[in-house]
Amino acid sequence: MTGQAQPEAGVAGEEALRLHQLMTSYLASKALFSALELGVFDALEAGPLTAEAVAKRLGLEARPSRILLLALLGERLVDRIDGQYRNSPSASLFLVSKSPRYIGKLAVHQDAHFAKMTELTRALRENKPVHNQPAYTGQYGGAQPWARAWVEAFRASSALMAEQLAAHSDLDGRKYLVDLGCGACSYSIALAQAYPDLRITAIDQPAVAEVASEYVAEAGLSDRITVRGGNIFEERFEDFDVALLSHVIQGFDRERAERLISHVHDWLPAGGELLMHTHLPESATVPFPYLFGLILLINSTQGGEAHDLASTQLWLENVGFRNMTITPVSPMSALFRATK
């Protein structure tokens, strides 16, 4: 026999099971998206209900209610005791819309990607985004009816990483930070909370900045974080000693990513620091950093992808950054720190 050695029978069974799970795991994502859209977790938060009672609350027939609740039970998002369903502790914490730690907006965003993923093979063949609904082009300026939904999704997803980023940033003694492509300003907010002497300017496309400034005001930090529209490829911030690029370079092709890093190096003062936070496959302990390039492929008109460690290091060195360190910040992200 040619080719690679065959696995033992038991191992082969485990691998077949793993592949079966992989081929069917889209069902779990979509069940969760629909459950959030229908309001299942909100309905169950008041107390345990039978599938029939959930159906009544949500205006469904009994059969789809039973089917959906069983799917959620399999994913341990609900528990079932004596025929009644209740939220699991994690559903209560993260999936009930009134919870301060609600991350359901991320599901809305991923559900929009899900609709486009049916065209993934074509996108892979043609190296083109899928345009079957309003596109997140990533292009600066222009009409952005998607801005609020987008920013809400960034806020939900950065909740998993912002505090860890602040804990790994070591900004004692630094005075002025500019958050380039700030999104929801979650990182600016976490850094301002961790470093009381730090003043921050947060820049994004005008429509995004408008939503983010509401979040900054909600956090009571409008006096220390200025949020405004601006083009990060063009603006210069010579009075600032730290620049943050969080999940930004991945949105651009290699040439533009290096150009952005070079532009930041150009305006940073000597001794200034670049913090670059990114989904880095090489340091990830969960699959998402390997997968999210697919989202960029179907959405982005800017040629984004998951840039690898070697290319990113090379760009930083090429443009003149020194003393580079790379630290895992969360299971799905890492922080490059480098000085000019």
Query: Interface with ligand SAM by CB under 6 A: which residues?
Result: 138, 140, 154, 158, 181-183, 186-187, 203-205, 208, 231-233, 246-248, 251
Q: CA-CA distance, 39 to 270, in Å (whole number)?
A: 53
Beta bridge pairs of residue 339: 273, 322
Task: Let me know if 339 is exposed, middle or buried by CB neighbors in 10 A (0-12, 13-18, 19+).
Answer: middle
> Is 48 within 8 Å of 81 (Cβ atoms)?
yes
Q: Which is nearer to ligand SAM, 85 or 315 (CB)?
A: 315
136's tokens: 């997140």
The minimum distance between CB 140 and ligand SAM, in angstroms, equals 4
The minimum distance between CB 49 and ligand SAM, in angstroms, equals 36
CA distances in angstroms from 198 to 105, 167, 191, 328, listed in the order given? 29, 14, 8, 23
Residue with tokens 């079932």: 80
The minimum distance between CB 78 and ligand SAM, in angstroms, equals 30
Q: Which is nearer to ligand SAM, 225 or 248 (CB)?
A: 248
The minimum distance between CB 34 and ligand SAM, in angstroms, equals 25
Q: CA-CA distance, 327 to 188, in Å (whole number)?
A: 19
Q: Which is nearer to ligand SAM, 86 or 259 (CB)?
A: 259
156's tokens: 């939900």
The minimum distance between CB 338 and ligand SAM, in angstroms, equals 18
Q: CA nearest 189: which of 243, 237, 225?
A: 225
User: Residue with CB nearest ligand SAM?
Assistant: 183
Q: Which is nearer to ligand SAM, 43 or 326 (CB)?
A: 326
The minimum distance between CB 141 and ligand SAM, in angstroms, equals 8
Q: Which is nearer to ligand SAM, 55 or 129 (CB)?
A: 129
Q: Which is nearer to ligand SAM, 130 or 208 (CB)?
A: 208
